[in-house]
């Protein structure tokens, strides 16, 4: 038992050191960033039974509250086609606001990060009315690869879940890439 406690304490100290004792490179990190994202979306659960692979686009702004911690907010649009066996040319889209926090492990050149937050989405079939707005959540992980002093390439995988009062829950995995510009 003592050995497990020692390992946990060491791991917690290592995470704290990486988070709050950022290297010199990230101390010069500018506080604001703007990011554009695009990628694929894969429906899951009830949502995945009727829909095929979709695409996603979005943008967000972030503010670094600490060298390794940022808060973000933005907008995303994700569209899925109905499975071929259902027929028709209709598609289903989910769109709305996102907000949360991102924890980056500061390293030279390549920095992994975790993110989590809330989403406020609505959805609907193309050409039809939108469904009521619903509150959900998202969690994800990615890499921040510095291309220059103000530009980063950011591949990311995230899971989004939006429970619905009526109809199936909207949940999907998004695999996308982005360009982040520090301001």
Give the pLDDT means over successive 10-residue stretches in the chain (183 positions).
Answer: 49 45 47 97 84 94 94 96 66 93 87 96 77 88 93 96 78 96 92
Whether 91 contacts 78, CB under 8 Å = no
- Domain residue limits, the chain: 2-182
For residue 16 the two structure tokens come to 């704290």
Whole-prediction pTM: 0.78
Q: Is the dihedral of CA 43, 175, 114, 75 positive or negative?
A: negative
CA dist., res. 64 & res. 72, Å (int)? 9
CA dihedral 37, 39, 45, 51 (to 10 degrees): 120
- pLDDT score for 167: 65
- pLDDT score for 25: 41
- pLDDT score for 108: 75
Question: What is the CA angle 46-47-48, rounded to 5?
Answer: 90
- pLDDT score for 66: 93
Question: What is the CA angle 89-95-99, rounded to 5?
Answer: 160
CA dist., res. 182 & res. 37, Å (int)? 15
In angstroms, the Cα distances linking 27 to 2, 10, 106 are 37, 25, 10
User: What's the residue count for the chain?
Assistant: 183
- pLDDT score for 17: 43
In angstroms, the Cα distances linking 63 to 23, 35, 71 are 19, 12, 5
CATH ID of 2-182, from 3.30.450.80, 2.40.30.170, 2.60.40.2550, 2.40.160.20: 2.40.160.20
Q: For the chain, how long is the longest CA-to-CA vector?
A: 62
- pLDDT score for 27: 43
Q: Which residues pair with 71 in a beta bridge?
A: 63, 101
- pLDDT score for 130: 66
- pLDDT score for 16: 45
Bin 26: left if φ > 0, else alpha if -120 < ψ < 50, else beta: alpha
Segment holding 132, helix H or strand E: none
């Amino acid at each position: 038992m003592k050995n497990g406690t020692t390992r946990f304490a060491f791991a917690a100290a290592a995470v704290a050191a990486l988070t709050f004792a950022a290297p010199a490179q990230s101390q010069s990190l500018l506080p604001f960033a703007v990011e554009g994202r695009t990628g694929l979306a894969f429906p899951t659960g009830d949502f995945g039974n009727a829909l095929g692979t979709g695409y996603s686009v979005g943008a967000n702004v972030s503010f670094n509250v600490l060298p390794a911690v940022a808060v973000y907010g933005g907008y995303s649009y994700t569209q899925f086609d109905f499975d071929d066996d259902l027929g028709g040319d209709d598609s289903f889209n989910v769109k709305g606001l996102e907000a949360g926090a991102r924890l980056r492990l500061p390293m030279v050149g390549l920095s992994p990060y975790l993110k989590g937050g809330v989403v406020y989405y609505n959805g609907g079939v193309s050409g039809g009315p939108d469904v009521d707005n619903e509150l959900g959540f998202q969690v994800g992980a990615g890499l921040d690869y510095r291309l220059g002093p103000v530009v980063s390439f950011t591949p990311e995988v995230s899971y989004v879940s939006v429970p619905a009062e009526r109809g199936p829950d909207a949940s999907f995995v998004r695999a996308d890439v982005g360009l982040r510009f520090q301001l």
